Structure formats: C-alpha cells, structure tokens
Amino acid sequence: TEQNRDLVLVTGASGFVGSSVARIAQQKGFKVRVLVRATSPRQNVEALDAEIVVGDMRDEASMRIALRGVRYLLHVAADYRLWAPDP
C-alpha cells in the first residue's frame, strides 16, 4: 500500500540526471520526495508523482524538513560548472 512504501529523497531532481534517478525510484515502487531550490526550474519534476520540498542542501533547517520520514537519500545534486570563474 501507499503507506508501506519506503520514502526516498532525491537531491538535484530538477536536473536531467536527478530527475531520471527520481523517475526510476518511482518505477521501482518507492515514494519519492524531491528537494529543489526556489530558483530551480521545475520542468523535470512536473511529470513526477513526487512531493516537492523547496529548500537548499546548504540550509540545515530545509534539510531537516526534506529528510523527515525519509528512509533513503539519493544525493544527485552537483555543480558541474568546473570552469566557472567564481563558483
């Protein structure tokens, strides 16, 4: 049942790889929650049947909220702009 499904939090789900990981987790039967920043685009998570939590990994309070009741954390967030002059 819905209540017995393990809850997974996916960071970076607004990105291509993160949204794919979230989609696969759903297909495998997990209940999915995604953490997205307020400024993140939502196109990649709109089609997911996932709870969206707005927050930032660098903010302890938003991480506590996002992780509440979570069994697994799939950390897929990254800043891939290695060439950024001022990351």
For residue range 42-76, what is the model confidence (pLDDT) as tens digits? 999 998 999 999 999 999 999 999 999 999 999 99
pLDDT at 83 (0 to 100): 72
* CATH architecture for the domain at 2-75: 3-Layer(aba) Sandwich (3.40)
Q: What is the Rg, in whole angstroms, of the alpha carbon atoms belonging to the chain?
A: 13
Q: How far is residue 28 CA from its own chain's centroid?
A: 16
- pTM exceeds 0.75: yes
Instruction: Return the SS3 of 83.
Output: coil
pLDDT at 77 (0 to 100): 87
The residues, ordered by sequence, that sit 6+ positions from 7 with a Cβ below 8 Å of its Cβ are 30, 31, 32, 33, 69, 70, 71, 72
Domain boundaries of the chain, sorted by first residue: 2-75
d(CA 58, CA 80): 17
Per-residue model confidence as pLDDT tens digits over 1-45: 565 689 999 999 999 999 999 999 999 999 999 999 999 999 999
The answer to whether the CB of 15 falls within 8 A of the CB of 22 is no
